[in-house]
Amino acid sequence: MASKYSFNDKTLAEEFETSASRFENFQKMLDATTADAKTLEGFFKECGFCIPHFVQVADDIRLGWDRHGDAWRLVAGYVIGYDPSGEEECSLRPFLETNAKLRVMCKPYLPQLLRELHAYIPAEEPDVQDPPQTEGSADDLDMIFANEDEIPF
């Protein structure tokens, strides 16, 4: 594609030859980043993972997993200030809805976010036992309410 472009300015032509391939691959890289983010977000949702966490991308940019509205999402945004207790206040948006510049900046930090979120999960599954059956178990309730006309309330 780059060969169909020619420039009169020699310096511009040389720089174009050096830079053109990166521009040509930009959309592929952005599409791949978006696809990876959708996959990661879907995985976290499917697992029911709901522990917020952020990684620092730059002095004023954060990438994280957090509740956004009614759903847990990959989010990214800018630090816009600090509250009275010193906590950062961020302007966050779902990662998939951010501009291309922010997605490109955050892309290399997706593996770090995954690694750090993984650290919240115990290495061994906890020993989970079935709760003991007590009087009034579900089986007993099925017997009691077998006939809807006999519901006591």
Residue (of 42, 38, 152, 55) closest to 108 by Cα position? 55
Residue range 10-50, pLDDT digits in tens: 999 999 999 998 888 999 999 999 999 999 999 999 999 99
Q: What residue segments make up the domains of the chain, in order of their start? A: 9-120
Contact of 66 with 75, CB cutoff 8 Å: yes
Residue range 65-117, pLDDT digits in tens: 999 999 999 999 898 999 999 888 889 999 999 999 999 999 999 999 999 99
Residue (of 103, 107, 84, 81) closest to 94 by Cα position? 103
Q: Distance between CA atoms of 49 and 65, rounded to whole angstroms?
A: 9
Q: Distance between CA atoms of 95 and 130, rounded to whole angstroms?
A: 39
Q: Say what the pLDDT of residue 153 is.
A: 43
pTM for the complete prediction?
Answer: 0.70
Q: Which amino acid is present at 49?
A: F
